[in-house]
Structure 1
């Protein structure tokens, strides 16, 4: 329905969602009928009307205004822009394309101890070579500074994104895809020493190939590399670089034209928005992407990505203090997982999507909602051995450790952290969330030999 000449709907003390609901009911449309016209599911239209999902996005508001004949001004919109010969006249918000890095040779130490940094990077290089199966020149095993892995990985990703790696050999395109598969395997198995060498080099080499016109942007290699970098930076609580990586992931995903990559980039932007405290924007990013026609009309992988996006929105609801909304959205994600038959899909997106990963996500969400007893109850339905990766198993034990800590069950918290360390020592030692948890245990009560040893290994207590 054309909104031109439409009647104005009173907007005093009425939310946009209430205006939409009023206009829909007046025209005797069901949620499903309005969703079919606007391109959203009935559930999403209901969330917009009830304010569960903030109705703030200009594109979404225009869709409802056009479909229901609501005057744009009633929804806080300006009139449609002037369009001449198929072009919008006036300011636009086109997303900029990403140029290849052009920075030449540098010799900076960035304020770090040069000797210590060179030693760390040498050790990490040996670790990466070993992980790749290449022979080592030395017969001895170098010491692994796992507590410092996070800082080293952040530093190397920073330099790669700034174009400061100048000694990178550029292999053929097929070899780069193999390297990406190895980098993803490093992430899933929590081999961060290897990842700290492999992923930055991959990003630099992929940029060089894309700049040479090899068309890797269309194959999604750069997008997938930046998506992995974003996940790692989020895990390491490096939000500043995380935004930079997520921005590039979005650009390269858009360039690839792959709906799954575009949706995953939106999911990671939503995670960063949530961590910044922008709950309304995070919810809008996730749920709008979940209802994109490109996902709704796709196959099982697209359905799984929708589930991951709805999961992300559930976690945001928990962080915003809306436990009921969190559980409603989690139930919606669980229903999608059940419809997919229980198989884990999209292992490289958010750790995979299946009924058990939805349940694991519920453990984290209940913790965020401030209900450790509900988190532990949810954890009882998760068999760690059935989780799809080492990284997800480490997340499970860290989540239940968090719940035990909030309940002041110190011994059980420490046992859970030791279990996480057993499965994924590099993840446990490098992750800031674990460091914070261990620091809290040190200052909040009695210490044991086990706790002091763990504290030393994660780098919060001098040996």
Structure 2
């Protein structure tokens, strides 16, 4: 990299911050923010662009890398801010060990950081001599890694991704009732935001469910298998594994079609629509979701499962429209969901569906950039209205996003603290929410609640 003046360096920081905030608001993945930063600031190399996309200072990166060593039971790192600066500016190259550790910290592959050659050295036997630091303990060179800032070990995610390509041995044949019971347990883990054990159990569950569905070959068997993949999609999307979540959503659609069950097909369409939306394919997401909703509507929406699935499809369609900037369509679909929720309440006597739909008033206004309306919608609700820790945590994180968009750091911090108290994983394991917490500690370290939040997340 050529010499960059101090004024240009300050300008790069401002442009990168603006792009990161825009990407966070619009739901961009980290890679897209990195691309935007490098496009606007071509003199920035990939390693620095990733740090800027995450909103970290060099001191924070050094601390996070050190924390990874400590979490592995190893001596603290010797990485310094000056070393990182040289790496970012292309004046020096990190060795194999720091290549792995930086990739761990940023939640990226080494090649995404511009460190392809060094990634090969750290992952394969190489005639290049190891440094004394690398030689002292083989644990320092291990590559089973933890995603950036997350409590879900990356090896669990990689194991699940491997199982999608090569299913694990399912063991003894399982009855469909047993698979449904295991699925219920998995849903219970999702409801309490126990994401690490949930993701760790998926390879065996998906394999056993597939084996059972093939063996019994009934609509219920294929519908249960589709439900397993839908739950995997929700969990993977929550922790930011978008590409893998799109694969599980596609499997869910495939097996739901085999079930010929409209409810199963609707549930899988919702999961697929969600993933298409997160990749920016709003038109395709709308078509998938609306087609499934139309099928249910034609059937009359007289049964609770049909109504429940339909209202979730309408919520998904509404959120998709809001992210595409179509306010009228967003609130039209939300009204459709509200009417379905009212009918479901009348049918079952339970208000859960209406509360579920009401939270979308926060989400739609947030996506449309109206933070004040989002906060007002959320203030009409209370977290204790929601039965599960995951839903209560989501209430608080949705409010935190709205407060942050409105420029209210103290309210944001206390919302995140409340979310962490209800379900720590909702703050720790959702990259976009974790990023807000990181931004708070960087930009507003003296604001009330921020220090407590930083302590809670360490």
So what's the TM-score if we normalise by structure 2?
0.63
Distance in 2 (CA, whole Å) between partners of 1:182 and 1:389 is 14
User: What residue in structure 2 maps to residue 17 of structure 1?
Assistant: none
Distance in 2 (CA, whole Å) between partners of 1:370 and 1:344 is 35
User: What residue in structure 2 maps to residue 61 of structure 1?
Assistant: none
User: What residue in structure 2 maps to residue 427 of structure 1?
Assistant: 426
Q: Structure 1 residues 379 and 449, CA, compared in 2 at 3 Å: closer, same or farther? A: closer
User: What residue in structure 1 maps to residue 217 of structure 2?
Assistant: 215
Q: Structure 1 residues 193 and 406, CA, compared in 2 at 3 Å: closer, same or farther? A: same
User: What residue in structure 2 maps to residue 399 of structure 1?
Assistant: 398
User: What residue in structure 2 maps to residue 309 of structure 1?
Assistant: 313
Structure 1 position 175 matched with structure 2 position 178: yes
Q: How does 1:198-213 map to 2 (within 5 A)?
A: 198-211=201-214, 213=215
Based on CA coordinates, which of the two structures has the bigger radius of gyration? 1
| Per-residue deviation, 1:345 | 9.9
Unaligned runs of 5+ in 1: 1-109, 122-144, 347-351
User: What residue in structure 2 maps to residue 372 of structure 1?
Assistant: 371
Distance in 2 (CA, whole Å) between partners of 1:186 and 1:167 is 21
User: What residue in structure 2 maps to residue 273 of structure 1?
Assistant: 276
Alpha carbons 1:308, 1:353 under 8 Å: kept: no
Distance in 2 (CA, whole Å) between partners of 1:358 and 1:246 is 22
Distance in 2 (CA, whole Å) between partners of 1:455 and 1:115 is 28
Unaligned runs of 5+ in 2: 1-121, 125-136
User: What residue in structure 1 maps to residue 294 of structure 2?
Assistant: 291
Distance in 2 (CA, whole Å) between partners of 1:391 and 1:117 is 36
User: What residue in structure 2 maps to residue 33 of structure 1?
Assistant: none
Structure with the greater relative contact order (CA < 8 A, sep ≥ 6): 1 or 2? 1
User: What residue in structure 1 maps to residue 409 of structure 2?
Assistant: 410
Structure 1 position 322 matched with structure 2 position 326: yes
1:242 to 242, 245, 256: 245
Q: Structure 1 residues 114 and 236, CA, compared in 2 at 3 Å: closer, same or farther? A: farther
Describe the superposition over 1:412-439 as per-residue Cα deviations: whole angstroms up to 9, x where unpaired.
Answer: 1111001001010123211112211112
1:337 to 336, 341, 363: 341
Alpha carbons 1:217, 1:223 under 8 Å: kept: no
Distance in 2 (CA, whole Å) between partners of 1:262 and 1:451 is 44
Q: Structure 1 residues 344 and 403, CA, compared in 2 at 3 Å: closer, same or farther? A: farther
User: What residue in structure 1 maps to residue 233 of structure 2?
Assistant: 230
Q: Structure 1 residues 171 and 301, CA, compared in 2 at 3 Å: closer, same or farther? A: closer
| Per-residue deviation, 1:364 | 1.1
User: What residue in structure 2 maps to residue 91 of structure 1?
Assistant: none
The 3-state SS of whatever aligns with 1:149 is: coil
1:252 to 252, 255, 271: 255
Structure 1 position 439 matched with structure 2 position 438: yes
Alpha carbons 2:413, 2:450 under 8 Å: kept: yes
Describe the superposition over 1:260-305 as per-residue Cα deviations: whole angstroms up to 9, x where unpaired.
Answer: 1101111111111111111122122222211115763342321221
Distance in 2 (CA, whole Å) between partners of 1:209 and 1:435 is 38
Alpha carbons 2:445, 2:451 under 8 Å: kept: no
Distance in 1 (CA, whole Å) between partners of 2:212 and 2:140 is 33
Distance in 1 (CA, whole Å) between partners of 2:140 and 2:265 is 40
Q: Which has the higher helix share?
A: 2
Distance in 2 (CA, whole Å) between partners of 1:309 and 1:341 is 17
Distance in 1 (CA, whole Å) between partners of 2:415 and 2:252 is 34
User: What residue in structure 1 maps to residue 3 of structure 2?
Assistant: none
User: What residue in structure 1 maps to residue 388 of structure 2?
Assistant: 389
Alpha carbons 1:156, 1:196 under 8 Å: kept: no
User: What residue in structure 2 maps to residue 20 of structure 1?
Assistant: none
| Per-residue deviation, 1:318 | 0.8
Q: Structure 1 residues 440 and 325, CA, compared in 2 at 3 Å: closer, same or farther? A: same
2:158 to 155, 158, 163: 155
The 3-state SS of whatever aligns with 1:147 is: coil
Q: Structure 1 residues 207 and 116, CA, compared in 2 at 3 Å: closer, same or farther? A: farther
Alpha carbons 2:170, 2:211 under 8 Å: kept: no
User: What residue in structure 1 maps to residue 86 of structure 2?
Assistant: none
Describe the superposition over 1:201-230 as per-residue Cα deviations: whole angstroms up to 9, x where unpaired.
Answer: 11122223344x233664222111101001
Distance in 2 (CA, whole Å) between partners of 1:154 and 1:427 is 17
Number of residue pairs the alignment of both structures matches: 322
Q: Structure 1 residues 451 and 385, CA, compared in 2 at 3 Å: closer, same or farther? A: same
CA RMSD of aligned residues (A): 3.3
236-245 or 199-208: which moved more? 199-208
